[in-house]
Amino acid sequence: HLADTHTARLFREAKALARLSHPNVVQVHEVGMVDDQPFVAMELCAGQTLQRWQAQRRPWRECVQVYLQAGRGLAAAHAKALVHRDFKPGNCILDHEGRVRVLDFGLVQRLDAQQLEAELEDAADRTALPEGEPLDGLTRTGTVLGTLAYMAPEQVRGRPVDARADQFSFCASLYEALYGQRPFAGETASALVEALEQGRLRPIPRRSGVPSRLQAVVLRGLARRPEDRWPAMEPLLDALEGVVRSRRARWAGGLVLGVGLAAAGAAMWPTVEVCGGAEELLADAWNEPRKRRVEAAIVGTGLSYAADTWQRVEQGLDDYAHQWVTKHEEVCAATKRRQEQSPEVMELRMECLLRRRTELREAVRVLADANETRVHNAVDLVTGLPSIAQCDDVEALEHRLPPPDDADVAARVSEARERLEQARFLTKTGEYTEALAVAQEVVAQAEPLGYAPLLAEALLQRGAVHKRQARYAEAER
């Protein structure tokens, strides 16, 4: 009977998760039975876990930006009444493009309250753990212990849990990324449980560089009582973003008195002024009028799932636009305010952001002219947008081939590349005939220009379309 109940719950939650499509949540494709055994087919994600990623100390801003993505995934799940119950760095994947996905919403390893209590008591009686020893990757008892380090107190004792338990686990994971240690410790499993239930934090490392305001945000999420934590993930994420924004917008110093006051004051203007205007720069790709056009096009198809698709598309594009604006301000401030990077590096990263803007604009253009095929593929098109985080990879950007020296040729190459983006999105929406026509057009344009990188890109895109059409011989030409 317990096995039947567990299987029914597995199917119920897997099906609910399959209806959740979000850039920061692993996609469930299929749920079924084979030889009386349940299975869940999920998206294959290549990358490293956040546990491995944060084994190397990272700047606090980088930690927050990465965990904001994971937090958005949790928030999306909570909006669908799904509670993860086992959030930890090992259940998040950071792919090679910088996108974080939350995995394993309790579908693979789930313990009910009585099982958890029994395992925990067994662990407390038999297992002693040195403070610094990793808890993940242990055996049967370790299945509980590996999770225990991030569990909310109410979950440890098998009491009913809600989204606030996930919030606790999220903040425990972020705390570990920020400080290089978990917030609670004990020499034995029972001692660790006692520390959790009493809210007894380990001493925060000195000279960590973590702002006190950020520390306060995270510690609130680690409150012993659920009602003392943030009311939901969204306010917590807003607070984390607020810390990042406010640190960028700090005054460089007080007013300078005397002759030259105006010039000195201008030099000390907040970062948000020095590096403002990012939203205006993005407006030709994504703004309110464009949003309304895309909504009208998608909903106007009359498909039964059009409204739900639009909600997912809107959230995905809004998130992407927010990441772009945030990154634009960050790249600018790193050079113009904090002098942490050279103007040459800033230019490389800004050029990358301009390419991301072009890709976003083309995606919006395609969706604003949506048909049934495009609506069917709309969510995949949005989640497949190149990661904004690629603009942080300075080494890769430095190896990118420079544009042509001739200004006229460079302009024509830029226009042709925008057409290639159109071909890529048409390929993603399954409109292969149209995509092939555009790719072939760019091949014809590239040949007389004499700029080899453009010709290579166009031939590669043409081959990609042929491959989608299963025309493999032509794809190899």
pLDDT at residue 265, as a whole number: 35
Q: pLDDT over 70 for what percent of the chain?
A: 81
Sorting pLDDT into bands at 50, 70 and 90, what band is 406? confident
Question: Residue 316 pLDDT > 80, yes or no?
Answer: yes
Q: pLDDT over 90 for what percent of the chain?
A: 32
Question: Residue 56 pLDDT > 70, yes or no?
Answer: yes
Tens of pLDDT, residues 214-257: 988 999 999 999 999 999 999 999 999 888 876 544 423 332 32
Question: Residue 475 pLDDT > 70, yes or no?
Answer: no
Mean pLDDT taken over the chain: 79
Give the range among 42-51, 166-175, 322-331 with minimum mean pLDDT: 42-51
Contacts 24+ apart (CB under 8 A), 42-49: 42/103, 43/101, 45/93, 45/95, 45/101, 45/103, 46/95, 46/96, 47/93, 47/94, 47/95, 47/96, 48/93, 48/94, 49/89, 49/90, 49/91, 49/92, 49/93, 49/94
Number of residues in the chain = 477
Q: How far apart are the first and last CA of the chain?
A: 60
Angle between helical axes of 288-299 and 343-367 (0-180°, round to 10): 30
Active site (catalytic) residues:
86
Question: Residue 322 pLDDT > 60, yes or no?
Answer: yes
Q: Cα separation of 168 and 176, whole Å?
A: 12
Residue type, 445: Q
- Within 8 A by CB and 6+ apart from 349, the residues are 331, 391, 392, 394, 397
Residue matched to tokens 């067994």 = 122
Residue type, 190: S
Domains of the chain: 43-243 (1.10.510.10), 249-392 (no CATH), 401-477 (1.25.40)
More reliable by pLDDT, 400 or 175: 175
Give the range among 3-12, 52-61, 215-224, 464-473 with minimum mean pLDDT: 3-12
Q: What is the dihedral of CA 364, 366, 387, 453, to 10 degrees?
A: -120
